[in-house]
Amino acid sequence: MALSPLSAVQATPPGAPLDVLVVDDSRTNLQVIGRRLNQMGYRCCLCASGQEALDRIQGRSFDLVLLDMVMPGMSGNTVLREIRAMQHRRHTPVLMITARSDPGAVIEALGAGADDHVAKPFEFEVLDARMRRLVERAQENEALRRSNETLDARIAHRAIEIGELRSRVHDILADRQRLADSLQALQQQVEQLGG
């Protein structure tokens, strides 16, 4: 299956295909998952190793990463920790997939920073629903982060304005005190001259 080059996506417009990085050491699994997700309207970038996935995600953004938990060389959990350590990619939603069905696998995946976990074999319709919900939630969180950044910038700007106003008020009060002192000195001179 040919891997198509895709542009980086910050927030996918409604109705636009979602860009998914699929990581699995099994070429067969990659082909099956990639084909089915493409049929469902996703644009897939397929990687057969953790290192290849890290190289891909360094260079561009994805709406979601579908990551196999158990891989030789670099495990899915290690890849996930590396993604979470990347400043510019740490909020990318990651759905961990594994053939392990024990509760420990779920705990391990979530503990490593996965947003969700699904055991193989899975129904593609269920996978689709989970993937879309993760992307939706990530987009909502990103909008909230941006809103918070805007508010933080406004607060910082207001704090600077308040600091400048305080400085001006301090200067005005100091000028007022100097004038009051000057008037008092003049008044004492007038009293001495008149007295």
Alpha-carbon span 48 to 53, nearest angstrom: 8
Structure pTM? 0.71
Alpha-carbon span 84 to 54, nearest angstrom: 11
Contact 98, 109 (CB under 8 A): yes
For 55-65, the pLDDT digits (tens) are: 999 988 999 99
Helix/strand/coil for 116 = strand
For 24-43, the pLDDT digits (tens) are: 999 999 999 999 999 999 99
Contact 116, 105 (CB under 8 A): no
Banded model confidence at residue 195, pLDDT cuts 50, 70, 90: low
* Higher-confidence position of 189 and 86: 86
Banded model confidence at residue 82, pLDDT cuts 50, 70, 90: very high
For 99-150, the pLDDT digits (tens) are: 887 888 888 888 888 999 898 888 899 999 999 999 999 889 888 888 888 9
* Element holding 141 (H helix, E strand): helix 124-194
